[in-house]
Amino acid sequence: MKPTHDTPEAAPHALAGKTMTGAEMVVQVLADEGVDTIFGYSGGAILPTYDAIFRFNAEHLDEDGREPMPLIVPANEQGAGFMAAGYALAKGEVGVVMVTSGPGATNTVTPVRDCMADSTPIVVICGQVPIAAIGTDAFQEAPVSSCLGPVSKHTFLVTDPELLEKTMRTAFEIARTGRPGPVVVDLPKDIQNWSGTFQGSGLLPVRGYRQRIHAVRNNVLDTQECEAFFDMLQESERPLIYAGGGVINGNAADELRRFSSQLGIPVTTTLMGIGAVDTTEPLSLHMLGMHGLASANYAVDDCDFLIAVGARFDDRVAGVPAKFAPSVKHIAQFDVDPSEIGKVKNVDWSHIGVLKQDLQILHDYAVEHGIYPDFDTWHAEIAGLKEQYGLNYDRDSELIQPYAVIEAINDITGGDAIISTGVGQHQMWAAQYFDFQHPRLWLTSGSMGTMGFGLPAAIGAQFAKPGHLVIDVDGDASIRMNIGELETATSYDLPVKVLVLNNFGDGMVKQWQKLYYKGRLSYSDKSLRSKDFIRAAEADGFKFAARLDKKEDIEQVIKDWLAFPGPAFLEVIIDPDACVYPMVGPGLAYDQMVTGDFIPTRKKVTEDDIDSSEMF
């Protein structure tokens, strides 16, 4: 365990007192922080540190000749950012990006914002022009703090070389603690070239931040709070846990599962909370929200006690806050971030603290006090909802349905594959139809909804979990955004499986246009495009690149694709009119879901019920 600001100091660093360049110090701190993979693209302003990484790796090869800290080169810096995000999400550790100044730094803006929105911990190290040239519009200069500061958890500009070590360690501390997020270090070239004495320890005095983190860590549930919580639970007949990405980020999935099982409380998760509970378990309702399962959304409508754990009542879940969970008598909310409490929905009970700790305390309190509520009737209702309103589609269609493709993959992977996605219809189909038995198997861009996330994130996840099956489920429009990373997968011989569900266009946009814009496919139909994905994959080195366009071949082709030992690419020509159902339209409550022709609904919704001006 690494020493922190509030733990006893470790033994002196073995290299303390050694003279190093600033670049060498950066690399040594990365090694001390346990970094085993860096994602980045070189350039003049970051060359000193790239050279230091090269030399460090050459000096520390293992007995098999492997580098301890390989630097993975993507097609562009946005790809590097999403690779680091995929790495962080799959491994639960801080991902690292290292890029040059100017366009190198600005190309990371989108992944940094994406990580901030989904609370993903990464550290971005940007080269910068020398201190004296900052502000002069020097070659490849960009105002990193101004560009990335508003979209990151914190940004540092290093101007005092004596503070370089402390800055680097503090960047990792801020990225991983509290509500995780991206931290940017802007590193002028002269700071990298400076020589000084390596201290081997020390952090910046960010007292206000540490005080807030310390307060959260030490805010332990007391007896009075536990009593109040269980008073509400024992008054309840239909309690429901609404779990979000905070459970995954807080590594609290085991505690949530234990708590839910002990008390018999069903669980539904947000898009980012998928994997917090095993989706194959009877108490799991899978995903709720705009494209959540009908059974989950109806359970939210019916519950009388809603327990929000690491979830923030965002607009994809609580689109109309006043109509969200209309039958509840009480709402409880757990979070690590005080700003989320009551931000969207007023709550009756709340606690700011560490989720692992809080859920374990409540579990232990229930056991100690013999609290074993009887929710058998509610369990039967949940089972009935799942049976009556389960996912379904046109199974007799002659066209390949995307749902059938995912079901076929899921039959083989059994809920144990790492699934990465782009953004669009394919993302929602994957969220709905895949099972997830464990946390950190689901990688997606939730809050930002960034097309192009899937492929580079899958590459990052494969580096994080080299022995695990990693599948990128993508769309023909989404994968175009970062299609250059196909070559990255083959360059490093990564056994990533890439699936493109091709419906010849921006599927989700087309779905909205068909439903609410009288079928006017304004600039979303790509059927006239001439992209040959198979030839593109082959050109980038894929030895397995196949197109599936016959329904009867689904099972065999998918088996062959998944069994291929190296990187494998599969394009599936799907029904271009396949839609994502259920769907809660903008301005509507859950009881007004559109469920299509194959999923039952409690209430028929017509076009007159929809406010198309809300779009997404």
pLDDT digit string (tens) for 388-437?
A: 999 999 999 999 999 999 999 999 999 999 999 999 999 999 999 999 99
CA angle at 462 for the pair 456 and 466, rounded to the nearest 5°: 165
Task: Please list the residues that pair with 594 across neighbouring strands.
Answer: 583
Catalytic-role residue among 139, 555, 603, 615: 139
Q: pLDDT (tens digit, 9 = 90+) per residue, 224-279? A: 999 999 999 999 999 999 999 999 999 999 999 999 999 999 999 999 999 999 99
Among 297-301, 313-317, 358-362, 437-441, which stretch is predicted with the lowest mean pLDDT? 313-317
Q: How far is 453 from 324, CA to CA, in rounded Å?
A: 30
Q: Is 139 a catalytic residue?
A: yes
Pairwise CA distance, residues 114 & 116, whole Å: 5
- Tell me the C-alpha distance between 530 and 96, whole Å: 36
Residue 3 has pLDDT above 50, yes or no: no
Given this model, what pLDDT does residue 608 score? 58
Q: How far apart are CA 36 and CA 72, in angstroms?
A: 11
What tokens were used for 414?
């059994």
189 as an active site residue: the answer is yes
140 included as an active-site residue: yes
Average pLDDT over residues 182-211: 97
**Residue 484 burial (CB count, 10 A):** 17
Rounded Cα–Cα distance for residues 498 and 72 (Å): 19
Query: Tens of pLDDT along 132-177?
Result: 999 999 999 999 999 999 999 999 999 999 999 999 999 999 999 9
**pLDDT at residue 603, rounded to an integer:** 81
Give the amino acid at 343.
K
The catalytic position among 153, 189, 386, 526 is 189
Extract the tokens encoding 76. 């562009």
Distance, in Å, from the CA atom of 194 to the CA atom of 162, rounded to the nearest integer, reads 10
Alpha carbons 265 and 243: distance in angstroms, whole number: 12
Does the pTM of the predicted model rise above 0.85? Answer: yes
pLDDT at 202 over 90: yes
Lowest-pLDDT choice from 283-292, 300-309, 425-434, 500-509: 500-509
pLDDT of residue 6: 47
For the chain, list the domains and their CATH numbers.
19-216 (3.40.50.970), 220-388 (3.40.50.1220), 402-577 (3.40.50.970)
| pLDDT value at residue 1 | 37
Catalytic, out of 168, 508, 583, 593: 508
The predicted pLDDT at position 522 comes to 85
CB 246 within 8 A of CB 335: yes
Tokens 């266009």 map to which residue?
505
Q: Where are the alpha helices (DSSP H) in 314-375?
A: 355-368
| Position 90 pLDDT exceeds 90 | yes
Burial of residue 166 (CB within 10 Å: 0-12, 13-18, 19+) is buried
Q: CB-based burial of residue 399 (10 Å sphere; 0-12 exposed, 13-18 middle, 19+ buried)? A: middle
Helix/strand/coil for 506: coil
Q: What is the pLDDT of residues 434-482, one digit of tens each?
A: 999 999 999 999 999 999 999 999 999 999 999 999 999 999 999 999 9
**d(C-alpha 560, C-alpha 546), whole Å:** 10
- What pLDDT does 610 receive? 61
User: How does DSSP assign 540-577, residue by residue?
Assistant: TT-SEEEEE--GGGHHHHHHHHHH-SS-EEEEEE--TT
Cα–Cα distance, 350 to 307 (Å, whole number): 10
Question: Catalytic residue among 24, 33, 77, 173, which?
Answer: 77
Residue 465, judged by CB atoms within 10 A of its CB (0-12, 13-18, 19+), counts as: middle
Cα end-to-end span (Å), the chain: 44
Backbone φ and ψ of 338, nearest 5°: -60, -30
543 pLDDT above the threshold of 80: yes
Residue 4 pLDDT = 47
Q: Is 508 a catalytic residue?
A: yes
Percentage of the chain lying above the pLDDT 70 cut: 96
Question: Which pLDDT does position 615 carry in this prediction?
Answer: 47
Kindly report, residue by residue over 43-59, the tens digit of the pLDDT.
999 999 999 999 999 99
Closest Cα to residue 120, out of 173, 171, 182, 174? Answer: 182
Nearest CA to 324 out of 582, 591, 580, 581 is that of 591
Mean model confidence pLDDT for the chain:
95
Instruction: Give the residue-averaged pLDDT of 300-308.
Output: 98
pLDDT above 90 as % of the chain: 90
Lookup: tokens for 577? 């009119």
Integer CA distances (angstroms), 502 to 74, 79, 146, 412, 512, in order: 24, 22, 39, 22, 18
What pLDDT shows up at residue 8? Answer: 52
Answer yes or no: 432 catalytic.
no
pLDDT value of residue 508: 86
Inter-residue contact 494 to 569 (CB < 8 Å): no
Helices 425-433 and 507-516: angle between axes, nearest 10 degrees? 100
Written as six digits, the tokens of 465 are: 């979990």
Residue 20's contacts (CB-CB under 8 Å, 6 or more residues apart) are 28, 195, 196, 197, 198
Q: With the CA atoms of 236, 312, 445 and 599 taken in that order, what torsion angle do they form, in degrees rounded to the nearest 10? A: 40
